[in-house]
Amino acid sequence: MSIQTRRERERAERERLIVTAARELAETEGWDAVTTRRLAAEIEYSQPVLYSHFKGKDAIMAAVAVQGCADLAVELRAARKAAKDPREALAAVAEAYTSFGRRRPALYDAMFTLAVDLPFATPEAPEPLWEAFRELAAVVEPIAAEGEDTGLLTETYWAGLHGLVTLMRSGRLPEPAHEQRLALLIGHFTAAL
């Protein structure tokens, strides 16, 4: 193995360590607790080492968001592939999405609530963001009416799911009616089936 290859591998490993530490710290103590000073202490590297990988906390949060979208895509894909028909797939993905947001609140916030320097819905968006969106689109496309804009329909489905996650997590919607709300959402999307 060349010295260059080893250095690249070590750099990638440090980046993973920083992102993982930020993610874990945010999940246990919230994003306010994630500072470069605190992360440096957690991973036992100096702050200049962190800055050699990321410009600051915002860049670290963006890296966490990208990783989170990759994780979300995996969960959505598994839910979609386990379903037997389009209606079941739409419901399974809805449940997987809302479950993800409720289980991983700090990660979800980095992905979809907090301001991060990531381009969304543009060709410059990182592949994991598109991958997660494509999983949502994969369950919407089969239920779209002929001539319907599946991109807009997917965005509306996503917005509904995001709204449910956000409102339940903030206590504005009571938790016990979650399944009923998902059933209503799926029912309206699949009424024509």
HEC secondary structure over 74-129: HHHHHHHHHCCCHHHHHHHHHHHHHHHHHHCHHHHHHHHCCCCCCCCCCCCCCHHH
Q: Are 21 and 39 in contact (CB under 8 A)?
A: yes
**pLDDT value at residue 6:** 84
> How does pLDDT run across 50-95, given as a tens digit for each residue?
899 999 999 999 999 999 999 999 999 999 999 999 999 999 999 9
- In percent, the amount of the chain with pLDDT more than 90 equals 84
Helices 127-140 and 150-169: crossing angle in degrees, nearest 10, is 100
Q: Are 115 and 162 in contact (CB under 8 A)?
A: no
Instruction: Write down the pTM of the prediction.
Output: 0.92
* pLDDT of 47 over the 70 cut: yes
